[in-house]
Amino acid sequence: MKAHRIAVVCTVALTLVACATTPAPERNPLAAWRPSPNHNPRSAQMIVLHQTEMESAEAALLTLQTRNSGGRVSAHYLIGDDGRLYQLVAERERAWHAGASRWGGVADLNSGSIGIELDNDGVEPFSDAQIAALLRLLDDITGRLDIPRHLVIGHGDIAPTRKRDPSALFPWQRLAQAGYGLWPRANPAPAPIGFDPWAAMRLVGYDLRDPEAALRAFHRHYRGNEEGQWLPGDAEILFDLQVQLMQMPDTPAP
């Protein structure tokens, strides 16, 4: 009898563990549950690049797996200076890498993006091995997840008041030559009379609530500096980016 009671207790305990680890689909008690098969998992729509600003990939891994002074952070991938690739979070999961940010009017970028950290201290050039590994990863991710190839952006682009990464040394043009990110074409046409560069920046995706910070982010990405005032050639670049975006086909809904 004692053995029978122990067996029953064990069976109940195992059942409770199974229930705890395999939750039922979320159901609103206010509504009648009439499930539909017409759905799929939420998926990433863009890729955000970061730099670790730490002394090594090992130090970055420790932080991404534990916490830093500001709390817990993570990313889906980390690429070492030597090109070694690490995955920390499954792509279907929400990594904590974007923080308070905004792009194209979307605020919850942790839910809609893949985060890639690059082992870089913030002042050194990015190595050829690292960029080559990044390009292989971008090719893999955009192909499997059907992410638009032009939606590869920087942390400093989506959080211009807080972040500056990747630095002005990041080779965005090299990525564009491989087909990733939005980049002006060679010899862009002059901007027409009445062209509004701020409207073009908003179309590209920048949050203009702090215009100077947004302009610095634009210059960091497209001009390799962090100037907070308009520069000669900015209008031509923005006009070309605007034309490219307007010529892109709409993405059909699933």
Domains of the chain: which residue ranges?
A: 46-177, 197-247
Give the tokens for residue 82: 């030597």
Q: Judge whether 167 and 216 are in contact, CB under 8 Å.
A: no
What pLDDT, on a 0 to 100 scale, did the predictor assign at position 4?
43
Half-sphere exposure of 107 (CA within 13 A, CB side): 2
Give the burial class of 236: count Cβ atoms within 10 A of its Cβ; 0-12 exposed, 13-18 middle, 19 or more buried.
middle
Is 55 catalytic? The answer is no
pLDDT digits (tens, 9 = 90+) for 130-182: 999 999 999 999 999 999 999 999 999 999 999 999 999 999 999 999 999 99
Q: Choose the catalytic residue: 117, 212, 226, 236.
A: 117
Give the tokens for residue 180: 């990733």
Q: Which residues pair with 42 in a beta bridge?
A: none
Amino acid at 120: N
Q: 38 or 87: which carries more pLDDT confidence?
A: 87
Check residue 114 and give left, alpha or beta (phi > 0: left; psi -120 to 50: alpha).
beta
Q: How far is CA 14 from the centre of its chain?
A: 39
Architecture of 46-177 per CATH?
3-Layer(aba) Sandwich (3.40)
**Global pTM value:** 0.85
